[in-house]
Amino acid sequence: MKKEGSGISNMDNHRQMPWHSEQMEEVYRKLDTSADGLSDAEAAERLRKNGRNVLRQKPPKTIAQMLKAQIMDPMVLILIGAASCSAVLREWTEAVVIFTIVVINAAIGIVQEKKAQSSMEALRNMSALTAKALRQGEESIVPAAELVIGDVVHLGDGDMVPADIRLIESANLKVQEASLTGESVPSEKEAHIILPEATVLGDRCNMAYHSSIVTYGRACGVVVATGMDTEVGGIAGMLDNEDELDTPLKRKLNAAGKTLTVAGLIVCVLIFIIGALYERPLIPQFLVAISLAISIIPEGLPATATIVMALGVQRMAKKNALIRRLPAVETLGSATVICSDKTGTLTLNKMTVTHIAVNGDFESGRATPIREAVGQHPEVYREMVYAAALCNDASIDPDRSGEIIGDPTEGALIYMAQEFGIDHELLEEAYPRLFEQPFDSERKRMTTVQEIDGSCIAYTKGAVDEMLPLCSHMLTSRGVRPMTKADRDNIAELCHVMSEEALRVLGVCLRTLSSIPSDDDGNVEEDMTFVGALGMIDPPRKEVAESVRVCREAGIRTVMITGDHKVTALAIAKELGIYESGDTVISGEELDAMDDAALKESVRTASVYARVSPADKLRIIKALKSAGEVVAMTGDGVNDSPALKAADIGVAMGKAGTDVAKEASDMILLDDSFTTIAYAIKEGRRVYRNIQKVIQFLLAGNIAEILTLLAATVFNFDAPLLAVHILWVNLATATLPALALGVDPASRNIMKHQPVKSGTLFEKDLVSRVVTQGVFVAAMTTAAYWIGVTTGTHAAGQTMAFCTLAFSQMLRAFNQRSNTEPVWVRAEGLNPWLFITFAVSAALMACILFISPLQSAFRLAPLSGVQWGAAAGLSLLTVVQVEVVKWIRRRRDRMRQ
């Protein structure tokens, strides 16, 4: 036992030490410990110095931090500036309204982020709670968080490894390391092997790593790293080095905000110059400039975009997709590449027997799919099923339906027996185990003995190449016969073929004994009869292939990135349609040999990356982004976490995902279904297109306001519109219909379009539509003003201009749903919210037009019947103009075709 008070300063940066290549004596010396572990006092001192065995987690954002992030948005800053100017000029109505918009927008964003934080707290449950450690020379149960370097820990079936451990002793130990390495098959461990220093993490058979799970056997080992110094901690630390990334929508909205800011400044300066030329008084001229600044800012855009995304979040939540960061709902709609981990994401993370080879299968060279074998009852199948159920240490978990306690490979055999109608528990009760030779890594096989129908039968399962030399006979449909060289060659050849198809091959033998062995060391594994072979794999999820096809049709490539072997990865990729002719497959070794320039070029054609490390995954994601791709990354393991955070959007699995992966993600699939991603893409595209509709709708109205005021200023006319009129139109008659457009149903063909790669929301066609519509509405508004002035007063002209602008906004909302289809064609389905918002906006307009106090507050005048008719007719013409442009476009497209 380690003496109290010893120094441990030599353990700095110990995680980087190649513990797997050290002799145990050297490990003890460097860690200042022994096989008897530590004393309580020494453990307490080390805990005080090195800290608890926990992973560092970023503290959740405070309300103040969330508020700051909301306020620093460029569009919001523009609104705050406009409100401040209005307050300085004592335009209190405008100031209050704009500040209200800012508060609502910030509140929506903060509420959504707090919801995501609460959901993450509910999902957080990763660390092992206790560990069996030697303290004072005796085994003690200690909190896993209080383990220290130098502790000696015992491991058994079902234990979660509580720290990084160098094994001292092991007996038939298998450890599931899928969350760290990506391999679905448990790793076999052997304590006494000394490995080369360059051995990759997945092949270090004398080490057990934090958060992996013991599926078979037992061991003891010495703790060499805890907390953030473990391999898992190192990956978690990589997350701290990744900056918080803007999503494509945030970048585009920020770009829009900057564009509008520049445009606003130019217009304001221009107005001042024109006013100076006309020698207008400063204050009135400044009021006109403020009116123009307000008109150039779509006040409703930030709040509308936020609400549209929040509604998208609610719809996705009903489809088992938890959005942790609001803009992420749109990002998948812009994705061009989905990078996915294999194990647990594309596959079930559940070993399954898919093929069975017996008797004539070895002569034909073709294994029989398990679904074809089920239902047949030759003797040879019975022996295979009995061996699978009886030569087995796994069991069904009584507390978790469909889950296995024990080794996943043995669990697959239990499920296979069930497919043949055999309950392994009932079989074990009928034929209890009388003798066994446990599995070990040297023999690579396991044997059990049962008394069946009055005979002592020994069943053996294990590696075929290890068992064939021990077999003298072969079971056929006609009974047992001596095994020939041709039989051996046929068996070896078929097993090789199955291995090349990424199947894990397991052989089954039997032997009839004269009596039960009395000596525990007795060897029954000789003169055996070969029964057959089983092929198993972690199968792909049935629904994934269709999702991959849908994504490809939508112009989105799916790329597999896994820590599993190349053969297995390629077989799964081909079955799912991820790999196609002409694609390339890159291994971790090949990746290491590439510089960044070569990798950037290779990512264009690579569809499978195999045997890669967490750092490799991160490098691949960055290479794809540098190549101009919008990257979504799915995963469930700790090893996926850095790449999840670096991607434009990280998607973690909610059930099988580790806590670190969930924390790094933007979206969590609560049902672990890859098909939810296809739905998310559709929903993201719907959100993106609807936001574009909103932008087109709002900015066309804003341009109309700008041009109306600018024309009046240039020609030295009185202002056709007041600032309060512009604010009312932007908020009461534009924002409500804009919200209705934001929930428009998705187009039927939305998943047949290519992703939008543009770096701006202002695509070429959108800009032309905004400008033409804005110019026409401005012309109608100006015409209304002149009709009002010539048939009445200046106040009547302003009232007519205000009504024309407001009603044209309300009516144009109906033909903004599609840029090609006529307004009367509902190809995307009915949107009742457009009618509801139209009615609400009309009611609000009626209030300020016909209620005297409000009419006076807005400086409006009563209109005659002729003036009302002119305003209504000019408003309708703005709808006609949009429909005429659509008709011209449809005719032009038909002529091109």
pLDDT digits (tens, 9 = 90+) for 53-85: 887 666 677 778 777 776 776 566 766 776 777
d(CA 714, CA 705): 14
Structure tokens at 725: 């009129």
Residue 133 lies in a domain: no
Structure tokens at 594: 């590439």
Tell me the CA distances in angstroms from 412 to 355, 455, 491, 750, one per residue in order: 12, 27, 22, 41
Task: Say what the pLDDT of residue 869 is.
Answer: 94
Max avg pLDDT among 20-34, 626-640, 670-684: 20-34
Instruction: State whether 497 and 547 are in the same domain.
Output: no
- In the block, tokens 């473990």 appear at 230
- In the block, tokens 């002592």 appear at 456
Q: Which residues contact 849 (CB under 8 A, 6 or more apart)?
A: 799, 803, 855, 860
Instruction: State whether 700 and 815 are in the same domain.
Output: yes
Residue type, 588: G
Q: Which residues contact 284 (CB under 8 A, 6 or more apart)?
A: none
Instruction: State whether 343 and 359 are in the same domain.
Output: no
142, pLDDT greater than 70 = yes
116, pLDDT greater than 90 = no
DSSP string, 398-443: SSSTT-EES-HHHHHHHHHHHHTT--HHHHHHHS-EEEEEEEETTT
In 3D space, the residue among 725, 726, 722, 737 whose CA is nearest the CA of residue 849 turns out to be 725
d(CA 623, CA 542): 30
Q: Once rounded to an integer, what is the mean pLDDT over residues 201-230?
A: 88
Task: Say what the pLDDT of residue 250 is.
Answer: 58
Residue 807 lies in a domain: yes
Task: Say what the pLDDT of residue 295 is.
Answer: 61
In 3D space, the residue among 263, 330, 341, 333 whose CA is nearest the CA of residue 297 turns out to be 263
Instruction: State whether 747 and 672 are in the same domain.
Output: no
Residue 489 lies in a domain: yes
Output the CA torsion sign for 704, 707, 712, 718: positive
d(CA 874, CA 772): 16
d(CA 152, CA 737): 68
What SS3 class is residue 91?
coil
Q: Once rounded to an integer, what is the mean pLDDT over residues 467-493?
A: 92
d(CA 37, CA 148): 10
Of 267-281, 590-604, 623-637, give the lowest mean pLDDT range: 267-281
DSSP for residue 281: -
φ/ψ region of 359 (left if φ > 0, alpha if ψ in -120 to 50, else beta) reads: left
Instruction: State whether 373 and 508 are in the same domain.
Output: yes
Structure tokens at 639: 């090893």
Higher pLDDT: 741 or 748? It is 741
Please return the burial class of 505, using the count of CB atoms within 10 Å of its CB with bins 0-12, 13-18 and 19+: buried
Task: Say what the pLDDT of residue 8 is.
Answer: 42
759, pLDDT greater than 60 = no
∠ CA 420-423-426, rounded to 5°: 145
Instruction: State whether 733 and 830 are in the same domain.
Output: yes
Residue 21 lies in a domain: no
What SS3 class is residue 609?
strand
Q: What is the CATH number of the domain that holds 589?
A: 3.40.50.1000
Task: Say what the pLDDT of residue 748 is.
Answer: 77
* H or E segment and range at residue 405: strand 404-405
366, pLDDT greater than 80 = yes
Residue 126 pLDDT class (50, 70, 90 cuts): very low
Output the CA torsion sign for 101, 104, 108, 110: positive
167, pLDDT greater than 70 = yes
Which domain does 590 fall in, by range?
Answer: 328-348+541-679
Q: Which residues contact 681 (CB under 8 A, 6 or more apart)?
A: 332, 333, 335, 551, 554, 556, 751
Residue 5 pLDDT class (50, 70, 90 cuts): very low
Structure tokens at 230: 């473990």
Task: Say what the pLDDT of residue 138 is.
Answer: 86
Instruction: State whether 674 and 687 are in the same domain.
Output: no
Helix then strand then coil, in percent of the chain rounded to 5, is: 55, 15, 30
Please return the burial class of 879, using the count of CB atoms within 10 Å of its CB with bins 0-12, 13-18 and 19+: middle
Q: Once rounded to an integer, what is the mean pLDDT over residues 441-466?
A: 89
Task: Say what the pLDDT of residue 216 is.
Answer: 79
Angle between helices 675-714 and 282-296 (to 10 degrees): 160
Task: Say what the pLDDT of residue 494 is.
Answer: 94
DSSP for residue 186: P
Task: Say what the pLDDT of residue 347 is.
Answer: 83
Residue type, 262: V
Instruction: State whether 687 and 836 are in the same domain.
Output: yes
User: Which of 522, 537, 552 is at the close of a domain?
Assistant: 537
Structure tokens at 233: 């901690």
Residue 600 lies in a domain: yes
- Total count of domains within the chain: 3
Q: What is the CATH number of the domain that holds 889?
A: 1.20.1110.10
Structure tokens at 67: 């508020």
Of 75-84, 380-389, 452-461, 716-725, give the lowest mean pLDDT range: 75-84
Tell me the CA distances in angstroms from 848 to 300, 574, 725, 813, one per residue in order: 20, 66, 11, 21
Task: Say what the pLDDT of residue 499 is.
Answer: 87
pTM recorded for the entire structure: 0.64
CB atoms inside a 10 Å sphere around CB 261: 18
Task: Say what the pLDDT of residue 47 is.
Answer: 92
What percent of the chain is modeled with pLDDT above 90? 30
Q: What is the CATH number of the domain that holds 404?
A: 3.40.1110.10
21, pLDDT greater than 60 = yes
Residue positions counted in the chain? 897
User: Which of 647, 679, 711 is at the close of a domain?
Assistant: 679
Q: Summarize pLDDT for 173-187 with one digit per residue, the tens.
A: 888 887 677 666 788
Instruction: State whether 736 and 666 are in the same domain.
Output: no
Q: Summarize pLDDT for 823-852 with one digit per residue, the tens.
A: 776 656 788 889 999 999 999 999 999 998
d(CA 873, CA 869): 6
Tell me the CA distances in angstroms from 626 to 10, 600, 648, one per residue in order: 41, 7, 12
Find the radius of gyration of the CA atoms of the chain. 36
Max avg pLDDT among 88-102, 320-334, 808-822: 808-822
In 3D space, the residue among 42, 31, 33 whose CA is nearest the CA of residue 9 turns out to be 31
Task: Say what the pLDDT of residue 845 is.
Answer: 93
User: Which of 517, 537, 557 is at the close of a domain?
Assistant: 537
Residue 15 lies in a domain: no
Task: Say what the pLDDT of residue 10 is.
Answer: 40
Q: Which residues are catalytic?
A: 341
In 3D space, the residue among 566, 488, 470 whose CA is nearest the CA of residue 526 turns out to be 470
Residue 242 pLDDT class (50, 70, 90 cuts): very low
Residue 77 lies in a domain: no
Task: Say what the pLDDT of residue 460 is.
Answer: 95
β-bridge mates for residue 471, sequence order: 528
Residue 460 lies in a domain: yes
Of 310-314, 421-425, 537-541, 583-587, give the lowest mean pLDDT range: 310-314
Instruction: Calculate the average pLDDT of the chain.
Output: 82
d(CA 804, CA 776): 12
Instruction: State whether 888 and 772 are in the same domain.
Output: yes
Instruction: State whether 291 and 392 are in the same domain.
Output: no
In 3D space, the residue among 890, 556, 549 whose CA is nearest the CA of residue 756 turns out to be 556
Instruction: State whether 511 and 568 are in the same domain.
Output: no
Residue 123 pLDDT class (50, 70, 90 cuts): very low
β-strands 584-587, 606-610 pairing: parallel
Q: What phi and psi, each to the nearest 5 degrees, are found at residue 126?
A: -120, -45
* H or E segment and range at residue 140: strand 138-143
Q: Which residues contact 613 (CB under 8 A, 6 or more apart)?
A: 200, 201, 563, 588, 639
d(CA 400, CA 419): 19
d(CA 427, CA 404): 17
DSSP for residue 508: E
β-strands 337-340, 631-635 pairing: parallel
Of 31-40, 46-55, 240-249, give the lowest mean pLDDT range: 240-249
Q: Summarize pLDDT for 397-433 with one digit per residue, the tens.
A: 776 777 787 788 899 999 999 999 889 889 999 999 9
